[in-house]
Amino acid sequence: VVDGFSPHAVGHRSTLCQREATTTSFDDTNVDTVDVTTTSKEKLFVEWMETDSLEEVPYPGRTLEVKGSIPSYVKGDYIKNGPGAFATRDKSQRFTHAFDGLAKLQKFEIDGSNNQVVFTTKFLDSQLKRGMLDADPPFMPGHLSVGPTDPQIGFFPRLMAGLDVYNTCVNIEDLSSTGTFVANTDATFKTQFDRRTLETIGHSPPPKIEGASPFGLGIFSTAHGKVAKRDGLTYNYVCEQGLETWCHFVRTNADLTHTSIGKVPLNDGKISYVHEVSVTDRYAILCLYPTFVDVAATIRTGSLFPQVTFDP
């Protein structure tokens, strides 16, 4: 979180020094240097998303050698989330989609006045991480994934594992500016972590939403909630599935409760895949595209993206 920038912009696509449109050249398999002169965002993103790195650098972190010069006005903590490993420790099983990589946080404590960067990185704790990296022998628990696994996990192992989507590897949020930092995905499951140490604090199941049916289950959301300038609260989309299907626009309140401020029925039962929402001073904006998710097939096969279809 760099002074002067919204903490809600911090995520896997953020830049280090936004005012000069530069990015960090950094691979946490080599945690001794950081290059702040590189400008090829596409090259860096591809390299990061294709790299396995099992090394963790615990708090209080490691001071890096800085190549280049950091503007003196940049001071604060830059935190990002993303995949850190794509296979079990023995490489016997692996993911086939980048968004399934094990969630790993990286923190850069930046002091531009001293041209100094201190680096910390840690995997978020989850059933998936413990099975793939800590168990002996390692194994891939039967959780829901974005893409198929290699080899594919059978139906019954996935059934025994239950609905586990706590590998929250896409983005981070400070919920309604309360200092409650969570990692998230396009599911409503969230992982709270300590901003200072990056240690996992706990997991949050799908929220209870005031204004939604007590019998509905809201699983689908977006990883990119938006903060309204007028009240500083976080707004997002949640799809409620039950006897009826509804799309809710949900506000996370300062006490971390959730309120539906508007909803749209899906009379045909088709569930749109929604990437993000928007808010203005007066309006909450939700676009439902003709890109649909087959929920039953997702649960049956264990992977999401093969069950997404475009039907205009």
Q: 3-state class of 10 per DSSP?
A: coil
Query: d(Cα 222, Cα 224) in Å, to the nearest integer?
Result: 5
Q: Which helix (H) or strand (E) holds 236?
A: strand 234-241
Phi and psi at 76, nearest 5°, equal 150, -170
**Pairing verdict, β 57-67 and 94-95:** unpaired
Q: Is 275 known as a binding-site position?
A: yes
Query: d(Cα 202, Cα 107) in Å, to the nearest integer?
Result: 19
Query: d(Cα 307, Cα 239) in Å, to the nearest integer?
Result: 17
- Tokens for 311, please give them: 């039907």
Query: d(Cα 172, Cα 194) in Å, to the nearest integer?
Result: 12
Query: Exposure of 289 by Cβ count < 10 A (0-12 exposed, 13-18 middle, 19+ buried)?
Result: exposed
In single-letter form, the type of residue at position 233 comes to: L
CB crowding 16-34: b at 16 or more within 10 Å, else e? bbeeeebbbbbebeebeeb
CB 142 within 8 A of CB 153: yes
CB 87 within 8 A of CB 147: no
161 CB-near residues (< 8 Å, 6+ apart): 127, 141, 142, 143
Q: Which helix (H) or strand (E) holds 308?
A: strand 308-310
Q: 3-state class of 159 per DSSP?
A: helix
Binding residues for Fe cation: 224, 275
Binding residues: 224, 275
